[in-house]
Amino acid sequence: MKYESPSKSSDPLNRIDASEHDFAKKGLVVVYDSLQECPYLDGKVARMPLEYPKRRVSPDDLDRLLRLGYRRAGTMLYRTQCPDCNECIATRVDVRQFRLTRSMKRILNRSDRELEVAWGRVQIDAERLRLFNGHRAARQLSQRGPADLADYHEFLVATCVETAELTFRLGGKLIGISIVDLGRDSLNAVYTHFDPVFGRYCIGTLAVLKQIQWAIETERTYVYLGLFVAENRHLNYKERFRPQQRLLDGVWQTVAEANGPDAD
């Protein structure tokens, strides 16, 4: 993998300074910190301290935390601090530089012709829970069995930031949902789940493309895609959104070359 030198970037936010780390230390309190089995790579030990914000996180606060590599789960925030592994890499797209591939254009065109796509407030109901459980079962993402409404609320509805829901419907039937946090200058892709029966619509990719479109329309700069893990098939799809930046040694570095063909 090749990266551009940070000195080549014109974006002053590429390098994280000490004041941003101080902000996180003052604004968050650690509520859980223990070694655990890695949820992304077999045989690895993970450390992902859960931190609780001392006050509701403003859009500007969220931008700062995302720059530091934080992710959100419910009302908590975390970032990887694993003892012997650095395979989880925070990833973002600068929408000013992003370029659609041919396959992405086909996905958007199919969506525009056949799907109803809408932004709204985050909701919880039986329809959404069925979609969530069906997605996780098909992709073997849960080892605890189906979630209930309380689980869904804790994971996707409860939040400490401004959050929106992006829905995808076919003939009125809900086939996909993406949960997205709203920063002042960024969007944070929290979680996307969809009905695998409708795989031809490539909802995972489509959700990111719609977030990039909305970021451009609302004059935001970044869409944060979460963690890229090259050896995890559920997380390495983020490779296809280029150019992209990855947080390495405290510097957001641009991936200089794409790996592989333009695929769906």
Q: What are the pLDDT digits (tens) for 23-48?
A: 788 899 999 999 999 989 999 999 99
Does a structural domain hold residue 180? yes
Q: Which of 36, 62, 88 is the last residue of a domain?
A: 88
Question: In the sheet where 28-32 sits, what is the strand order?
Answer: 28-32, 50-53, 76-78, 71-73
pTM: 0.89
pLDDT per residue as tens digits for the range 177-208: 999 999 999 999 999 999 999 999 999 999 99
Residue 264: the pLDDT is 39
Residue 11: the pLDDT is 53
Do residues 209 and 106 lie in contact, with contact meaning Cβ atoms separated by under 8 Å?
Answer: no
Total structural domains within the chain: 2
What CATH number does the domain containing 164 carry? Answer: 3.40.630.30
Does a structural domain hold residue 103? yes
Query: Which ranges of the chain have pLDDT less than 50?
Result: 1-10, 259-264
Comparing C-alpha atoms, which of 23, 9, 84 is closest to residue 57? 23
Q: Which of 37, 54, 88 is the last residue of a domain?
A: 88
Q: Clarify whether residues 81 and 191 are in a common domain.
A: no
Residue 261: the pLDDT is 44
Q: Which domain holds residue 69?
A: 6-88
Q: Clarify whether residues 78 and 165 are in a common domain.
A: no
Q: Clarify whether residues 100 and 215 are in a common domain.
A: yes
Q: Clarify whether residues 76 and 143 are in a common domain.
A: no
Does a structural domain hold residue 259? no
Do residues 120 and 167 lie in contact, with contact meaning Cβ atoms separated by under 8 Å?
Answer: yes
